[in-house]
Amino acid sequence: MKKFVLYAIALICISRAASVVSQAQTVGLKVNVPFNFNIEEKVLPAGQYLILAPQGGTLRIKGPDGTAALAMTNPVSGTRPEGVGGLSFRCYGHRCFLFQFWSARTETGQQVSKCRLEKELAGEKQQLALITLRGSQ
């Protein structure tokens, strides 16, 4: 029993240390988004955003006045924006949806899946525009 308790304590200490190290390595990208946009069904206002690189497939977005959102992502390859990275949006009329996140530190990006609303708009054959914004550190 005593060995089990010591083993459990050691395991907890190791997992906390790994958590601290992974948080210290979080990559952030600042982007000024000049238009309202959607992350899934949530509409976020135009403004300065801090995009934190995915951990476990979850992209964290922090914006003006405490605005925040989470987006589930999948790795994607392709042409990474030059510089420190950037965000890409798919826009249908006046509605824009976060599409991809690219960091300067990786060769692959992260892609956000289409939500129900975006699928509806895409199904209505509305004009699609792709917008890419460069970030800053």
Per-residue pLDDT of 77-135, as tens digits, reads 876 666 778 899 999 988 999 999 988 777 788 999 999 999 999 888 777 888 888 88
pTM for this prediction: 0.74
Q: Mind listing the pLDDT tens digit for each residue in 13-51?
A: 455 544 443 444 456 889 999 999 999 889 999 999 999
- 90, two tokens: 């798919």
- pLDDT for 134: 85
Q: 113 Cβ partners below 8 Å, 6+ apart? A: 72, 73, 74
- pLDDT for 136: 80
